[in-house]
Each structure stands twice: as structure tokens, then as C-alpha cells.
Amino acid sequence: MSRFLDERYKELEPYTPGEQPKNLKRLIKLNTNENPYPPAPGVLKIISREEAEGLRLYSDPEAAELAEAIGDFYGIDKSMIMTGNGSDEILAFIFMIFQGKNRRFYFPEISYSFYPVYCDVFGAEAVKVPLASDFSVNPRDYERADGTIVITNPNAPTGMAMSLKDIERILKSNRENLVVIDEAYVDFGAESCVKLLKGYDNLLVVQTFSKSRSLAGARIGFALGHEEVIADLNRIKFSFNPYNLNRLSIKAGVEAMRDREYFEQMTGRIIRTREKFVSEMEKMGFILLPSKANFVFARHESIPGEEYFTKLRKYNIIVRYFGKPRIRDFVRITIGTDNEMEELLTATQEILKEYRQEDPQYEKKENT
Amino acid sequence: MSRFLDERYKELEPYTPGEQPKNLKRLIKLNTNENPYPPAPGVLKIISREEAEGLRLYSDPEAAELAEAIGDFYGIDKSMIMTGNGSDEILAFIFMIFQGKNRRFYFPEISYSFYPVYCDVFGAEAVKVPLASDFSVNPRDYERADGTIVITNPNAPTGMAMSLKDIERILKSNRENLVVIDEAYVDFGAESCVKLLKGYDNLLVVQTFSKSRSLAGARIGFALGHEEVIADLNRIKFSFNPYNLNRLSIKAGVEAMRDREYFEQMTGRIIRTREKFVSEMEKMGFILLPSKANFVFARHESIPGEEYFTKLRKYNIIVRYFGKPRIRDFVRITIGTDNEMEELLTATQEILKEYRQEDPQYEKKENT
């Protein structure tokens, strides 16, 4: 820490992203919820020498072409869309400028672990609302709040989705509070609340190209909301980093958004792989929370989460382990290709067999 | 403005970037200091279908490969380098976390017009130090300051450079203040103060790939400084937007940084074009501040800056006009290719001829 750093940042605990190993050969990477399939064919085509030459020029600070493509997809006007350098940048702006009178944010205790970091960065209070005993988000806990509400739907790392009815309940009782629904994983079986935008000007939806559109490395996020809320976000963007999206990402995003068919095929494929994987895991004694995301949150009856995580690593499979209260037994597993999931299942069988041999208590545990 | 926006941002006046017209055909774009030449050959080669497929994966949040390439170029360790989504993002972080005890920034009154916006965003005081009568930055004005100092060298939009001796003077008398030297334009004839890093841990140098490395559209900036200062910047980056650089920009940046020969050729070419252009403009009655940048700041004896700017537009040539106190007579002209500058000179001759005919006072003015 340098002597120049302002006091208020000295205690800051930065967010820890999932590991991004440099050498992916012989590694099955199921730790950061990336899409196992390549971006849409149009994306692969547009990333070309010609576009590389164009890099000498600045990008369009409004990324108008991209906002239009998103607007076309959802059937809304581009004045209701703001684009960012990944949804993380948009979330940062939200925690910066929409703190509410009491400078307070309500979000589930178990959720995207970046939210409390943003609160620390921007000097807001984090109100961490416990999940229900089944790990679901209880809408009643957010009724008549006195601050901004941020809910990931489906939630991470649980993968569990809320119904639109429940979200509407929160929106209705919080007309004077902004309600942010982070839909990073919504395209894998949950329902988007974009359709609620018409009735609720206190709703702000955040989405990303990182998961369902296979563009994690292009860094594109977007927010959908009432025109005035979007104008506020753009005001801070133009006061912080106007050219926040690079030229190639804008092009890639446009192509990815326009290809609805490819998008539906790939998300459908991941959903099918997930359902198959879930039932195989259950057969082996795993308990999985009901996932509507491109990952599952799983724990085993007997083998501790951290041990399972560590042993998978020996099979060159990386998943994510959080080791936090209430979720110490769980690992989060991204849904990859069918082949990748089969390799994980095979490795898991081996691990369980080993574990049974090592641990004389195993049979007993299994039968209790 | 929405009812959710925090009070403190309601008065914010965002930065206005230079115009980025969508249709560049038949347009000579000399308004945002872009490089007229394409990025290095290695960049054009690496932007490929294969890399586009890789976009499904997150980028390396540390952008280690890029930091290493920059370190190799300058002969410094990568622990002294931080990379950002354009130097604007890095500057935003600087204004956020290095405000000093008095939350105060000193910078030249005429300089990058984003600095006062950053002060507003982060609630710091902007101390705008007037330039000398010849538009130079006087180092004495920054001795023993009581806040963070930010100086663009060469300055923009004047293009005028400071000597290392003058910068060292500021560094010496401000051991307890961070001194930020924004070297966005340093590669066009000024001297970088990277070599002063050894002696001064209060120095932070900011550079960009947007100008001398023809990558404005890739959004890559970097900061060079003492290990602890860089760690502070990374701490805030990891608390705001860890994956701030996209995969393709990291790749492009590495290639651009490694090709020193191409870099020297292209910057050399722009310097030669500038010198030739300056002497032609002087012949036509223009006064140009001594530029060490890839632009010139010019005014004419008779024709007002705004009028010249507007008339050039009719010839499909866009330059930048600021219309602010002390610089109302000036236009800023980016140095393009030799051909582009010749077209501008020809158009200027026409404009001056027209102006002479329209304005009966012209001859008189010219002779006073």
C-alpha cells in the first residue's frame, strides 16, 4: 500500500475472480460459468483483418449499433439500453450512483460476491438478507425496503430462479426504490423480467454477453430500464470512461445478438446437458439445488465439498469452491459439453470409490 | 434525470468526446488525434477466427502477457505496470483513490478537459493552474503543492512539451504528493519520464496505445509507477472491474508493443509530416504552438477559429474546436497522412481566399 492511497480504500478487500489458468490443454475448465460453445458464426466472420485495421480509430462512444441490436431482440427502444465493459462495469456504476437516501443496498447474503465489494468501494451499507432454508430468495424480505435492491435471477451460486410474480411483488412495494435484477444467467431456463419494464420505472435489468452468448472474453454487458435511469447511467459512463466498449466487441456483440437461432440452439443444448448431468449426479448421492443457470450447485451426502473440489483438480477438472458459511459443503460446477460432463462423472465415480476405501466411516454415513 | 439518482451526481457535466461520425467515406477525420496508419502487422495477423473462438473464455484479469510486453519495452518489471480499458479508465481510478489529504488536484487550466470532470465525479477540488503567456506549463506553479498533481506532457490541446528537468523539479518539491504525468502524446517527439521512476516513488506515468500504437479502438492504457502505487491501482481495479481488458485487445497490445521497429517508423513519419505541415501553415499566416504531439494547435492572424473550423467542415475535413477562454482563436488539427494534410492545406487556401473576398477589413487586419 502506498502512502498516497486515500484512507477510505485502505481496508478494501477486492473481489477474487475465478482462476483463469494460462494453459488449457488437458484441462476441463468448469469454474467460471463460461459457455463451452463458440460465439455465433457471424462473430467468427466479423473478427477479421479489415476490422483489425479499423482499430486505429476510436469506437463509437454510444455503441449505437449494439444498442439497436439489443433493442431489436427485446423489442424495446435503444433509449432504454445502456452498454458496458462487461456487466461488472454497469454494476459498479449502479452501486456508485443509485445508493438511495440512506446509501444502502439490499441483496441476498448468498449471491454474487462482488456486491459487498461495490458497497465498500462506494461507501454504501450492505444489508445482507439471509436466504430461506431451501436457499430460495424470499420476496417478502425485500418488501418496503429503504434502499436499493439487487437480486441475481437466477441467483448465483445457487442457480435457483425467482418467478416474475415474486419479482413483481418486490417492485410493487418499492416504487421509490430502484430494484436491480441481475439476469446474468437468465437465458438458461428462467424468465426475464424485461417484460415488466412497461409497468415499473423502478426496475433495472442487467444482462451480459458472457454466458449465453459465448462472449466472456469480449466484455459486453447491458442494462435495460426506464429512459431516465438509462440516461443517468450514461451520464456517469461519459464522466468516467466514454469509450468503454472497444470496436471489435461492439461488432461481435451485434452479430451475436442478431443470431437468435444460434442463441436458442446453444442455450437449449446446455439446458439438456444440465438436466442429464443433474440426474446422473443424483444417482451418485449428490444433492443439487434446482438450477435454471448454466451451472449447478451440488453437495454430496458424504464427501466434503472442499475435498471433492481438490480431488477433481487431480483429474484436471476445475470447478469452483467458495468455503463460506452455509455453503461449505457445496461446489459450483459449470455446465460444459456432454463430453466434459461425462468425464467429470467418471472422475467423480473414481473419487467416491477412493473415498469409500479411505474412510471406514463412509458406509455408515451413507446409511444414516 | 431519474428520482433514483444520488444528489451529488445531479449537477455533473459529463465529458464531451470528439465526434465519431459513422460514415467516414469522403471524410478527412483530424479531430480526435487518431493515428492515420494501421496497427502493427502482428496485430492484423493475430485478430483471427481462432482468437474469435477463444472469446467464449474470460480474459486474464491480470493481463500478464501485456504487462510483460510493456515491461520488456521499457526495461522495467511488470510489478510496476498496471493496464486499463484505455488510459481514461486509469485516470478515473487515479482521481478516485489518490486525492491526497485535502482531496485536491492541481492541473493546468488548459489541458485534458476530462480532469475537472473526474474531480466532480469523485468529489475532489480542482485547482486549475493558469498556463504562462506563451501557453507553457511553469514548473514553479506546482512546487510544494498540497494535493495530487496531474500534468499532460506534451500538454493537450497545446501540444507543448516540458523538459525532464522541469518535471524533476516538480517531483523533488512534492515528495509527499503523487505526481501524475499523462504521456498520451509523448511518443511524437517529447521525452518520457519513465527513466525518472528509479529516483521518484511519487511519480506515476500514464500512457496509451490509442495514438502512437494505432489502437484507439482497442482501448488499452497503462500506468507505470512504483510497485506500491501500482498495487493500489490494481486493488481498485479488482474492486471495480477485474476483467477490464478484453481478450483481443490484450493480444493486439502485446503485438503492438513488441514491434518496436514499426512503432518507430510510424511515429517518425508522423513527426516529419507535422514539421512539413507546420511550415506550410506558417506561410499562410497561421501561428502554431510548438508541438511535440500528433496534433497542432493553430490560429490564424485574421480568420476566427470557429469560422475556420466550420468552413473546413464544408470541405469534409473535421478538426476540433474548443471555444473556451484564451483558446477561442485556435483549432486543434490531428496530423494525418501527407495526403490528408495536403488536402487540408488546399482547402485552407480556398477558405482564406473566400474570406478575403467576403471581408473588406481583411487586408487591413492582415497588416496590423
pLDDT digits (tens, 9 = 90+) for B255-314: 999 999 999 999 999 999 999 999 999 999 999 999 999 999 999 999 999 999 999 999
Contact (CB, 8 A) for A215 and A246 = no
Is the predicted pLDDT of residue B341 greater than 80, yes or no? yes
Strand partners of residue A150: A180
Question: Where are the extended beta strands (E) located within A113-202?
Answer: 125-129, 148-152, 179-182
Are the C-beta atoms of A185 and A211 separated by less than 8 Å? yes
**Strand duo A148-152 + A104-108: pairing:** parallel
| DSSP 8-state code for residue A320 | B
Q: Give me the long-range contacts of B345-349 (CB less than 8 A, separation at least 24).
A: B345/B277, B345/B280, B345/B281, B345/B284, B347/B312, B347/B315, B347/B317, B348/B281, B348/B284, B348/B308, B348/B312, B349/B284
- Tell me if A248 and B51 make a contact (CB, 8 A cut-off): no
Q: Is the pLDDT of residue B363 over 70?
A: no
Q: How far is B171 from chain A (nearest CA, A)?
A: 14
Distance of CA B162 to the CA centre of its chain: 15
Q: Which of B51, B58, B86 sits opposite A243 (nearest CB)?
A: B86
Q: Does A213 touch chain B (CB under 8 A)?
A: no
Q: Is B59's Cβ below 8 Å from some Cβ in A?
A: yes
Contact B216 A53 (CB under 8 A): no
pLDDT over 70 for what percent of chain A? 97
The closest of A103, A109, A123, A249 to A178, measured between CA atoms, is A103
Contacts of B3 (CB under 8 A, 6+ apart): A176
Position B26 confidence tier, pLDDT thresholds 50, 70, 90 = confident
| Residues in chain B within 8 Å Cβ distance of A54 | 217
C-alpha grid cell, residue A283: 444417482
Among candidates A20, A61, A232 on the partner chain, residue whose Cβ is nearest the Cβ of B20:
A61
Which chain A residues touch B249 with a CB distance below 8 Å? Answer: 246, 248
d(CA B42, CA B39): 8
Q: Nearest to residue B114, comparing CAs of B147, B90, B140?
A: B90
Residue A242 sits at the vertex; the CA angle it makes with A48 and B325, to the nearest 5 degrees, is 130
pLDDT of residue A356: 86
Q: What is the pTM of this model?
A: 0.96
Q: Which residue of B has its CA nearest to A11?
A: B235
The answer to whether A86 contacts B241, with C-beta atoms less than 8 Å apart, is yes
Dist. CA A50–CA A28, nearest whole Å? 34
B178, A56: Cβ pair inside 8 Å? no
- Closest partner CB to A218 (pick from B1, B55, B214): B55
Of A24, A176, A214, the CB nearest to B55: A214
Distance to chain B for A62, nearest Cα, Å: 10
Label the pairing between strands A125-129 and A104-108.
parallel
| Burial classification of residue B355, based on how many CB atoms lie within 10 Å of its CB (0-12 exposed, 13-18 middle, 19 or more buried) | middle
Binning pLDDT at 50, 70 and 90, where does residue B367 land? very low
CA distance A168 to chain B (A): 19
Terminus-to-terminus CA distance in chain B, angstroms?
A: 51
CA gap A173, A142 in Å, rounded: 9
In this prediction, the residues of chain A whose per-residue pLDDT falls under 50 are 367-368
Cell digits of residue A57: 480509430
**Interface contact B12-A85, CB threshold 8 A:** no
Grouping H, G, I as helix, E, B as strand and the rest as coil, residue B365 is: helix
Cell representation of residue B281: 501553415
Angle at alpha carbon of residue A183, lines to A345 and A220, rounded to 5°: 95
User: What CA dihedral angle connects A39, A41, A46 and A48, to 10 degrees?
Assistant: 90
Q: What is the mean pLDDT of chain B?
A: 95
Cβ B139 vs Cβ B167: under 8 Å: yes
Partner-chain contact B232 A9, CB within 8 Å? yes
Beta-bridge partner residues of A332: A297, A320
Query: Is the per-residue pLDDT at B22 higher than 80?
Result: no
* CA B169 – CA B162 distance, rounded (Å): 11
∠ CA(B136), CA(B141), CA(B146), 5° rounding?
140
Give B208's contacts in chain A (Cβ within 8 Å): none
Query: What is the distance between the alpha carbons of residues B182 and B293, in angstroms, rounded to a whole number?
Result: 13
B283: which residues sit within 8 A by CB, 6+ positions away? none
Q: What whole-number percentage of chain B has pLDDT above 70?
A: 97
What pLDDT does B368 receive? 44
pLDDT per position as a tens digit, A167-212 = 999 999 999 999 999 999 999 999 999 999 999 999 999 999 999 9
* Chain B residue closest in CA terms to A120: B239
The pLDDT-based confidence of B356 (bands split at 50, 70, 90) is: confident
B231's torsion region: left (phi>0), alpha (psi -120 to 50) or beta? alpha
Write the pLDDT tens digit of every residue in A325-346: 999 999 999 999 999 999 999 9
Only one residue has cell 450514461, namely A234
Q: What residues 70-109 of chain B have any CB closer than 8 A to a CB of chain A?
A: 85-86, 88-89, 92, 97-100
Of the candidates B198, B189, B195, B210, the one whose C-alpha atom is nearest the C-alpha of residue B272 is B189
B51 shares contact with chain A (CB less than 8 Å):
yes
Cell 485502505, located at residue:
A10
Look up cell 505541415; give the residue.
B277
Helix H or strand E segment including A268: helix A260-283
B232 and A117 within 8 Å at the Cβ level: the answer is no
Confidence band, pLDDT 50/70/90 cuts, at residue B25: confident
Please report the residues numbered 341 through 360 in chain B whose beta carbons come closer than 8 angstroms to any beta carbon of chain A: none
For residue B362, the model assigns a pLDDT of: 57
B123-145 per-position pLDDT tens digit: 999 999 999 999 999 999 999 99
**Sign (positive or negative) of CA dihedral B266, B269, B271, B274:** negative
CB distance B363 to B356 below 8 Å? yes
- Burial label for A362, CB within 10 Å (0-12, 13-18, 19+), is middle
CB B306 within 8 A of CB B279: no
What is the identity of the amino acid at A343? E
Please state the φ and ψ torsions of residue B244, each to the nearest 5 degrees: -75, -20
Give the pLDDT confidence score for residue A282 in this predicted structure. Answer: 98
**Residues B166-215: pLDDT tens digits?**
999 999 999 999 999 999 999 999 999 999 999 999 999 999 999 999 99
Q: Which residue has the cell 500528433?
A: B294
A·B CB contacts under 8 A: 279
Closest CA to A276 of A321, A337, A330, A191: A337
Question: Are the beta carbons of A54 and B98 separated by less than 8 Å?
Answer: no
Interface test with A, best of B91, B240, B245, B255 (most A CBs within 10 A): B240
Rounded to an integer, what distance in angstroms lies between the CA atom of residue B1 and that of residue A58? 28
> CB of A206 within 8 A of CB of A183?
yes
Cα separation, A352 vs A344, whole angstroms: 12
Give the type of residue at A53. Answer: E
Report how far residue A63's alpha carbon sits from residue B330's, in angstroms, rounded to the nearest whole number. Answer: 30
A299 and A352 in contact (C-beta within 8 Å)? no
Catalogue the E-assigned strands of chain B: 28-29, 81-84, 104-108, 125-129, 148-152, 179-182, 203-208, 221-225, 286-288, 295-300, 317-318, 331-334
Inter-chain CB proximity B6 and A97 less than 8 Å = yes
Q: Which of A57, A210, A239 faces B34 most closely, judged by CB atoms?
A: A57
Q: Which long-range contacts (CB under 8 A, 24 or more apart) does A9-13 make?
A: A9/A121, A9/B97, A9/B232, A9/B235, A9/B236, A11/A120, A12/A117, A12/A120, A12/A121, A12/B235, A12/B236, A12/B239, A13/A117, A13/A120, A13/B239
Eight-state DSSP code of residue A180: E
- Strands of the sheet with B81-84, listed across from one edge: B81-84, B221-225, B203-208, B179-182, B148-152, B104-108, B125-129
3-class secondary-structure state, position A331: strand
Nearest-by-Cβ selection for B61 from A20, A38, A218: A20
Q: Point out the residue among A5, A214, A247 whose CB comes nearest to the CB of B98.
A: A5
Using CA atoms, how far apart are residues B209 and B257, in angstroms rounded to an integer?
9
- Chain B, residues 294-313, CB within 8 A of chain A, namely none
Question: A4, B120: Cβ pair inside 8 Å?
Answer: no
